């Protein structure tokens, strides 16, 4: 097997998606290894979870830097030290500069709790309920300069129930996020895809390596 791609997960909060990536990457044939979990918030609960899982962790507190460039320079240094190859944003709540995004172009992905291009930005579940949509979901996409834009790698849909509120809907979507993100990282890390404009073409989940197929539906 070729070397597993060294992956950093950037978080700001509870880190449940980070945990699902860490768990998936435990399988020896998973094409990525989680080499670092970093948070811009030193008190992020996700950091504790990562530490307990034996992963290298770091806090890069954005508040102590004069601006975004300074913060990102520090983050970049950390990524260099850990020889990071790929980045997964998982509930990372800082906007990144175009320079940083460009540097990591094609090597940085994000999970968003909506079926993009619908509901970019925050409060996606509240907005979906207010619009009365019947289908909602989550998206993993390449990160580009525009917020929640970028070629879509994978999506999963869930039904919206009549008695849903933002919490129940969020929980249903989150369950799908935890299934989807490892699959998307697997696609990225295996390099088994092509990008043509906004279209990413990859193997169907059922064709992925066994360790990437956690809960896969073909």
Give me the residues that bind ligand GRF (CB under 6 A), please.
Answer: 11, 13-18, 46, 90-91, 111-113, 138, 174, 177
CA distance 42 to 61: 6
Q: Report in angstroms how near the CB of residue 100 gets to ligand GRF at its nearest.
A: 18
* Sheet of 193-196, strand order: 57-59, 32-39, 5-11, 86-89, 108-112, 135-142, 152-159, 199-202, 193-196
Cis peptide upstream of residue 113 (ω within 30 degrees of 0): no
Q: Report in angstroms how near the CB of residue 102 gets to ligand GRF at its nearest.
A: 21
Residue closer to ligand GRF (CB basis): 72 or 177: 177
Residue closer to ligand GRF (CB basis): 85 or 176: 176
The residue number whose beta carbon is nearest to ligand GRF equals 91
Residue closer to ligand GRF (CB basis): 46 or 182: 46
Q: Report in angstroms how near the CB of residue 81 gets to ligand GRF at its nearest.
A: 24
Catalytic residue among 62, 82, 112, 136: 112
Q: Report in angstroms how near the CB of residue 205 gets to ligand GRF at its nearest.
A: 19
Our measurement of the distance from residue 195's CA atom to the centroid of its chain's CA atoms, rounded to an integer in Å, reads 18
- The answer to whether 112 is a known catalytic residue is yes
Question: Hey, which residues are catalytic here?
Answer: 112
């Amino acid at each position: 097997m070729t070397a597993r791609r060294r992956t950093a997960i950037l978080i700001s909060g509870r880190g449940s998606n980070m945990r699902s990536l860490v768990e998936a990457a435990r399988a020896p044939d998973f094409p990525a290894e989680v080499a670092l979990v970093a948070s811009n918030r030193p008190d992020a609960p996700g950091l504790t979870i990562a530490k307990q899982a034996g992963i290298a962790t770091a806090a890069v507190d954005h508040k102590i830097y004069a601006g975004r460039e300074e913060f990102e320079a520090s983050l970049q240094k950390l990524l260099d030290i850990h020889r990071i190859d790929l980045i997964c944003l998982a509930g990372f709540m800082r906007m990144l500069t175009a320079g940083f995004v460009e540097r990591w172009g094609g090597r940085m992905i994000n999970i968003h709790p909506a079926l993009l291009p619908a509901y970019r930005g925050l409060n996606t579940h509240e907005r979906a309920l207010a619009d009365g949509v019947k289908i909602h979901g989550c998206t993993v996409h390449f990160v580009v300069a525009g917020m929640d834009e970028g070629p879509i790698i994978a999506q999963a849909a869930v039904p919206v129930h009549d008695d849903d509120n933002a919490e129940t809907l969020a929980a249903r979507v989150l369950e799908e996020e935890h299934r989807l993100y490892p699959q998307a990282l697997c696609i990225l890390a295996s390099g088994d895809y092509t990008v043509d404009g906004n279209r990413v073409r990859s193997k169907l989940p059922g064709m992925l390596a066994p360790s990437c197929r956690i809960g896969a539906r073909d």
